[in-house]
């Protein structure tokens, strides 16, 4: 629930009582109590991959970085692991050919089962890595913008 929903959780029709102020006091007391008891402050992560931040529109940027980051965002979940049996002359042998074909298919499916489990784990790792890269690029963009502003401020103050 967001704070606005929580503020409207209790409905009071007395003009001398401010529910928002009461909720704020409750939050403050909860925070104070947690600090006294030594509860660690917790922040919870967002779920899912953070999206590609896009190229900056008003600043110069490294086109190679954004090219590779865009492709990492597109391909991190793509793992093409499917059954692919090469033709075998042994499958044309009467009676034993169909048995051999079924045995090959079952053996390949068993291998695919374990490979797909591993691939799913790798997709999860890839999603986290791409999310970290996306967040780092956003932070770098913000820092570059701040650096440019500070440089302009230094030039302005140096010229006075």
Place of tokens 């298919």: 105
For position 10, what pLDDT does the model report? 64
**Whole-prediction pTM value?**
0.57
As a whole number of angstroms, the distance between CA 129 and CA 68 comes to 13
Return d(Cα 25, Cα 27) in angstroms, integer. Answer: 5
Residues near 151 by beta carbon (within 8 Å), at least 6 away in sequence: none
Per residue of the chain (160 residues), what is the pLDDT tens digit? 555 665 566 677 777 877 778 888 898 898 888 888 888 877 666 665 678 888 888 778 888 988 999 999 888 888 878 888 888 888 788 888 888 888 989 999 999 999 999 999 999 899 999 999 999 999 998 999 999 999 999 999 987 6
Q: Which two tokens stand for residue 90?
A: 């042994």
**Predicted pLDDT at 106:** 93
Q: How many residues does the chain have?
A: 160
Distance CA 50, CA 132 (A): 8
Contact 55, 66 (CB under 8 A): yes
Looking at residue 109, what is its pLDDT? 92
């Amino acid at each position: 629930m967001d704070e606005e929903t929580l503020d409207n959780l209790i409905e009071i029709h007395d003009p001398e009582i401010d529910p928002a102020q009461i909720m704020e006091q409750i939050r403050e007391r909860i925070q104070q109590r947690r600090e006294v008891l030594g509860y660690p402050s917790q922040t919870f992560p967002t779920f899912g991959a953070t999206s590609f931040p896009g190229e900056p529109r008003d600043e110069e940027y490294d086109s190679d970085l954004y090219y590779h980051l865009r492709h990492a965002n597109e391909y991190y979940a793509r793992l093409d692991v499917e059954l692919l049996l090469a033709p075998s002359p042994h499958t044309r042998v009467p009676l034993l050919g169909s048995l051999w074909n079924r045995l090959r298919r079952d053996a390949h499916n068993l291998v695919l089962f374990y490979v797909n489990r591993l691939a799913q784990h790798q997709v999860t790792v890839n999603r986290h890595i791409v999310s970290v890269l996306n967040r780092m690029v956003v932070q770098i963009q913000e820092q570059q913008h701040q650096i440019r502003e500070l440089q302009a401020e230094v030039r302005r103050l140096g010229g006075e």
